[in-house]
Structures are given as C-alpha cells and as structure tokens.
Amino acid sequence: MKIVVTGTRGIPDIPGGIEKHCQDLYPLIAGMGHEVVLITRLPYVVDPRPEWRGVKLLHLSCPRGKSVEAIVHTFRAVLRARRLNPDILHIHGVGPWLMVPLARLLGLRVVATNHGPDYDRQKWGPVAKTVLRLGEYIGGRCANEVIVVSKVIAGIVAERCRRTPHIIANGVRLPGRPAGTAQLERLGIRTSRPYILAVARFVPEKGLHDLIEAFTSVDGDVQLVIAGDADHETDYSRRLRTLASLDSRIVLTGYLTGSPLHQLYSHSHLFVLPSYHEGLPIALLEAMSYGLAVLVSDIPANKEVNLPARNYFAVANVADLSTKIRASLSQQMSDQEREALRARIAADYDWQRIAEQTLGVFRLVLGGNLPEA
C-alpha cells in the first residue's frame, strides 16, 4: 500500500502534537512493508534528509505564518500527491481538511484525522476560527473515512458532519529510566530538590500563564521547569518569558527532545498540564508512561484519560491549581503506584495496535482488497 501524508510540519523532532503522532505512527506502518511518503513543511526542517526510519520525506516550501502556512502547504501537497498516485492520502488537522474536497476531485482516496477542534484555541481570531470550522465541516463530510483521537472529538464530528468516525487514540512508548542527570545540571536543574515539569508550546490555550502565577504563590525550595517554546514569537510568548523571569526558581529550557527531555521526565516530582484546549494530549500520556504524578485541568480531553479526582483542577482557576500543587508536592507516589500507572499506559495506548487500527481504516477505504503489504 502506498500512503502519502500531509497536514503535519514534518518529522523527526519537530515541535507539535500532530508531529509527535506522525513520528511514532508512520515508521511502524512503513515497517510493516508499506510505502509511506510524508510531505514536510520545509521552513521547519533542520536536516532535509530523504528518509527517516523507513518513511520517505518529501520537502515542500511554504510561507511561514500561522494564518496561511497550513492551507498553502496542504494545497501544494495535494497537487504533489496526485502526481505520486497513492492508494491513500492521509490528511491531519482540521485546517488542512479544507483541501479534502480538492483531493477527492483529483481522484484521491482520503482518510482525514481530527486531532482536536483547533478553532477553540485562543490564538485564533474570528476569521481564522470560521475557516477552521469550515475545514472541519467540509473535510469531515467529504473524506472517505474520518479518524479522531478521542471520544470527545468523535461527538463533535458526529454532530457537525453527520457521520460516525473511527476512534483511534494517540499512543506512547514506555520508556526506561536513565540514571544520568548531566543534561539537567547543564540546564540549571538540581535533582536534589523537587521540580515541577510542564511540556508545552508557548500559546495561550496551554495555560502556562496560569501555571506560572500559581507556582509563584507556592513557597519552598522547588523549581518549575517549562520545556517548550513558541513556533512564532508573539506578545503572549514574550509575556510568558517576562513572567518567568520574575521568579528565579523558574527554568525555561526551550524546546527539547531525545535524551534531555527523557531526563526531565525521569526525575520530575510532578507533571502539570494546565491546558484550556486539547485533543488527546501526548505530553500527558508521556508523563504517565514515566510513572509520574500528574495534575491537569478538568477539560473533557484530559478527563477522558480517567484519572482520580485529585489529579484534576478547575481549568483557569489559579487558586485551585496552586492548592493542588501544594497537595501534590506533599505526597509521594510509591514504586507500586508508578509501575501500575506505567502498565496501564502500556496496555491502553500501544502504538503497534494503533498502527494496525489505522491500516484497518485504510483497507476499509480500499474495499479490503489489498494484501497486508
């Protein structure tokens, strides 16, 4: 089977939830003997290699601007896909879904994945929100099949697009626990005292401003480490940096991946995700895969992970977040609790099963007539 992928900035190690999803999913599909061509957005690609872990990479240029890059790039990617003549065109994200009708008119068979209602994000103005809603509607109506990453999104698609999507969750790989801390020390993080970890982009819907405000009211020898950065520098990202600079206990690491991020997760005391909006947060699943204590906002996507009540705080409620941080810092998970959490994640969010489910949707579009590879 030949699969062309668009709607993502690219892989590997490019920031973003969709990017992380694609990075974990498609090497598995390629490893099953299928040809996967992933079309990247060239401005984000540091090393324009032709292939990564069996996935062919096709690099296309596009304007770098949050309002235009996705739609312009997807338009170009659909035209290129037509020349590649794939069995399946897989489009990620409701903004790129605007190009689903074009792809269908060109004779392509389209599977569209909805990672969340992007129009709920605070960074978008009224016009952009309208365009994203339109993309969700026409893409959801016109695609051959639709995948969603959570039950919450499935309900939205069923109501707005009048169809039943396939629910295939995000996944996570169960990590080992490194003993080293050298890279943390270079970042100014001391593992001799507890630190709180947040992993998120510097955009309003991630709620990092609430976390910083809540943390500043927490006394004691504890650090707040925020791993992330802004895709595009904005007034909001500059405000976050200013807020962080007012408390010497706050460390901004920038965007991290690989071993440094692995060490951050491994030695953290508490993971906090204060989001206003999510699809199904991979960062939360990753934190749980390390057996970390987690504290997350009570939005529907986070509640779908089905954590105990003590792990949730009222979204946008800084006082509640501050209280829950203090309570969490005063508790310590046992080794048995950590391993039980890791075992649950391994069972519920396995990438190999997710890859097989995704291939099942592709075969459904093709009438089930193609062989396994």
| pLDDT tens digit sequence for 304-353 | 999 999 999 999 999 999 999 999 999 888 889 999 999 999 999 999 99
Answer yes or no: do 260 and 336 share one domain.
yes
Answer yes or no: do 154 and 246 share one domain.
no
Choose from 124-128, 214-218, 330-334 the range with maximum mean pLDDT.
214-218
Q: Is the pLDDT of residue 267 over 70?
A: yes
If pLDDT is split at 50, 70 and 90, which confidence band does 209 have? very high
Give the range of the structural domain holding residue 15, as residue numbers without chain letter.
2-171+350-365
Query: What is the rounded distance in angstroms from the CA atom of residue 114 to the CA atom of residue 7?
Result: 10
Answer yes or no: do 108 and 225 share one domain.
no
pLDDT of residue 80: 98
Residues 6+ apart with CB under 8 A from 356: none
Residues 6+ apart with CB under 8 A from 71: 95, 96, 98, 99, 131
Work out the number of other CB atoms within 10 angstroms of the CB of residue 336. Answer: 8
CATH of the domain at 14: 3.40.50.2000
Q: Average pLDDT, stretch 120-138?
A: 83
371 domain-assigned:
no
Answer yes or no: do 27 and 62 share one domain.
yes
Answer yes or no: do 101 and 32 share one domain.
yes
Which residue, among 285, 290, 241, 243, has the nearest Cα to 264 in the 3D structure? 290
Domain count, the chain: 2
pLDDT of residue 119: 67
Mean pLDDT of the chain: 93
Strand pairing of 51-52 and 55-60?
Answer: antiparallel
pLDDT of residue 192: 86
Answer yes or no: do 134 and 274 share one domain.
no
Q: Is the pLDDT of residue 213 over 90?
A: yes
Answer yes or no: do 10 and 66 share one domain.
yes
Strand pairing of 223-227 and 195-199?
Answer: parallel
Answer yes or no: do 151 and 33 share one domain.
yes
176 domain-assigned:
no
Work out the number of other CB atoms within 10 angstroms of the CB of residue 8. Answer: 31
Answer yes or no: do 344 and 356 share one domain.
no
370 domain-assigned:
no
Distance from the first to the final alpha carbon of the chain:
6
Answer yes or no: do 210 and 326 share one domain.
yes
128 domain-assigned:
yes
Answer yes or no: do 211 and 354 share one domain.
no
109 domain-assigned:
yes
If pLDDT is split at 50, 70 and 90, which confidence band does 265 have? very high
Tokens coding 176: 């080992």
Q: What percent of the chain has pLDDT over 70?
A: 97
If pLDDT is split at 50, 70 and 90, which confidence band does 368 have? low
Tens of pLDDT, residue by residue over 139-197, are: 999 999 999 999 999 999 999 999 999 999 999 988 887 768 988 999 999 888 899 99
CB pairs under 8 A, 24+ apart, for 281-285? Answer: 281/17, 281/170, 282/17, 282/20, 282/21, 282/170, 282/172, 283/17, 283/199, 283/200, 285/170, 285/171, 285/172, 285/345, 285/349
Answer yes or no: do 97 and 116 share one domain.
yes
Which residue, among 170, 34, 68, 43, has the nearest Cα to 113 in the 3D structure? 170
pLDDT of residue 208: 98
Q: Average pLDDT, stretch 57-77?
A: 89
Q: Is the pLDDT of residue 57 over 70?
A: yes
List, as one string, the DSSP characters of 35-102: EEEEEEEGGG-SS--SEETTEEEEEE-----TTTHHHHHHHHHHHHHHHH--SEEEEESTTGGGGHHH
pLDDT of residue 279: 86
pLDDT of residue 46: 87
Q: Is the pLDDT of residue 369 over 60?
A: no
Q: Average pLDDT, stretch 213-219?
A: 96
Which residue, among 308, 310, 305, 313, has the nearest Cα to 287 in the 3D structure? 305
77 domain-assigned:
yes
Q: Average pLDDT, stretch 214-231?
A: 95
